[in-house]
Amino acid sequence: MNSTTAPTEGPYAAALAQFDQAADQIDLDPNLREVLRCPKRELTVNFPVEMDDGSITCFTGYRVQHNVTRGPAKGGIRYHPSADLDEVRALAMWMTWKCAVMNLPYGGAKGGVTVDPRTLSRHELENLTRRYATEIIPLMGPDSDIPAPDMGTNMQVMAWIMDTYSMHVGYSVPAVVTGKPVAIGGSEGRERATSRGLLVATQAMLERLGRPVSGTVAIQGAGNVGLNALQLFSEAGFTVVAISDSSGGVYDSTGLAAPRVYKHVSDGGWLADYCEAEHISNAELLALDVDVLAPAAIEGQIHSGNAAKVRANLIVEGANGPVTPEADALLNDRGVVVVPDILANAGGVTVSYYEWVQGMQHFFWSRDEINRLLADHMGRAAQEVWNLAQDRGVNLREAAYQIAVGRVAEATQLRGIYP
Ligand code: NAD
């Protein structure tokens, strides 16, 4: 993808700007920059799905592999009405850096289908998933490209993808997806792994900053990442005062009753209908005077228009790309510490890696073992990012990118350009 076709705004523009900054800072060879900037493979599929009333609807889906130099492509699948090729490209590129900063033997990929899954019946969702999985089978495989859940998808969707792939090859291949149920070869601890990693990264950075490892937290997003973060941060002694979903947010200055909010949302309720706390908007949530702000919904939520209103002095990016590069610079100038997505939310892909290893070996670890592996892995990566930031006088995002881009560049140089 040359500069004439590169977008000027949106998540992919942000991902390219972040990469370019890291490439400048590490003085990356221009030839390597050319290679690492481009997505390696992009597949767009238009496919029919039979709906419950017998009608046929055509959906569009994508799978993008940004880079596979360090190992098989790894990355989630998103079902969202605004999913498009540029968003999937951005998410795939972020996966490359995330796997590299965590030192996982993977490249980066992402998939997406332009659909609001909440408008589909369970049967329609299964039909859509099985047909989309069939369309991307040319790319998928336990040694080539391993999907996982992201926004709008979950363990059940992964189970259907695993089954569809297995039916096509004629035998069960649990390692073709991660984030699947434990009953069919999933890993203990995977469902909460992204949020657990977010907690470990937050604790590690608060400790290194010399701040109390406690205090008030606001979370944007009440899905897999946000809702599990509400529980885990509360259990770890933080006071989670606010959480939101796309319907709006809820606030309690004394701390939300995590189990009650969890139940309300898991039962399918919107937070706008939760009666046991004050209602606030998403904009108000982002401007709360809290110790930790965890955007865990969607890209571009903290931007140049609202960055000045953010009062938290630590932001941990549960979502991918929630802070735009413009907002990042404004926050940095004000001394707000941002723990970048490629580190902060990497707990999910880290346990996905352990799930894949278990699937390949048909040998399984206990939940305690998985949680310990995750904490050790995240602790190690956080330490490396912190140390580099201190050594080079850069912020945590710059340090994480310098490590990640450096690792992928080294691998590319060692392998060489074929032929
Ligand atoms: P999810 O679909 O389970 O939940 C998303 C939540 O965000 C929902 O509560 C939804 O209502 C809310 N939301 C959507 N748009 C919003 C908006 N404009 N304002 C406020 N809330 C909004 O998704 P998830 O799996 O929790 O993923 C959330 C983010 O975390 C995404 O950026 C995803 O890429 C990232 N992420 C997820 C994982 C994972 O393991 N699931 C891993 C790493 C990163």
pLDDT tens string, the chain, 419 residues long: the values are: 544 467 888 999 999 999 999 999 999 999 999 999 999 999 999 999 999 999 999 999 999 999 999 999 999 999 999 999 999 999 999 999 999 999 999 999 999 999 999 999 999 999 999 999 999 999 999 999 999 999 999 999 999 999 999 999 999 999 999 999 999 999 999 999 999 999 999 999 999 999 999 999 999 999 999 999 999 999 999 999 999 999 999 999 999 999 999 999 999 999 999 999 999 999 999 999 999 999 999 999 999 999 999 999 999 999 999 999 999 999 999 999 999 999 999 999 999 999 999 999 999 999 999 999 999 999 999 999 999 999 999 999 999 999 999 999 999 999 999 99
**DSSP structure class, residue 223:** S
**Neighbour count for residue 161 (Cβ, 10 Å):** 28
Which atom of ligand 1 lies closest to the CA of 298? 32
Structure tokens at 331: 């926050």
Contact 316, 102 (CB under 8 A): no
CA distance 283 to 122: 32
36 contacts 404 by C-beta, under 8 angstroms: no
Index of the ligand 1 atom closest to the CA of residue 153? 2
CA of 152 to the centre of ligand 1 (A): 8
Cβ(26)–Cβ(402) under 8 Å? yes
- Specify the pLDDT at position 6: 79
pLDDT 10s digits, 160-218: 999 999 999 999 999 999 999 999 999 999 999 999 999 999 999 999 999 999 999 99
User: Which residue minimizes the CA distance to atom 34 of ligand 1?
Assistant: 320
Nearest protein Cα to ligand 1, atom 8 = 223
Rounded to the nearest angstrom, the gap between the alpha carbon of residue 348 and the centroid of all alpha carbons in its chain is 7
Rounded distance, CA 407 to CA 401, Å?
10
Residue 1: what pLDDT?
52
Closest CA to 278 of 288, 267, 268: 288
- Distances, alpha carbon 87 to alpha carbons 14, 90, 209, 266, 298, in Å: 10, 5, 33, 27, 11
Structure tokens at 263: 């139940």
Counting atoms of ligand 1 from 1, which one is nearest the CA of 352? 40
Q: How far apart are CA 226 and CA 262, in angstroms?
A: 10
Say yes or no: CB of residue 223 within 6 Å of ligand 1.
yes
Strand partners, 251: 242, 278
Q: State the distance from the centre of ligand 1 to the C-alpha of 319, rounded, in angstroms.
A: 6
Distance (Å, rounded) from C-alpha 119 to C-alpha 338?
A: 35
The residue contributing the CA closest to ligand 1 atom 43 is 345
Contact 35, 108 (CB under 8 A): no
Q: 3-state DSSP call for residue 57?
A: strand
CB atoms within 10 A of CB 263: 11
The structure tokens listed for 239 are 């006071």
Scan for tokens 């200055």, then name that residue: 253
Tokens 């005062």 belong to 241
Active site residues: 110
Contact 244 CB / ligand 1 (< 6 Å): yes
Ligand 1 site, residue 151, Cβ cutoff 6 A:
yes
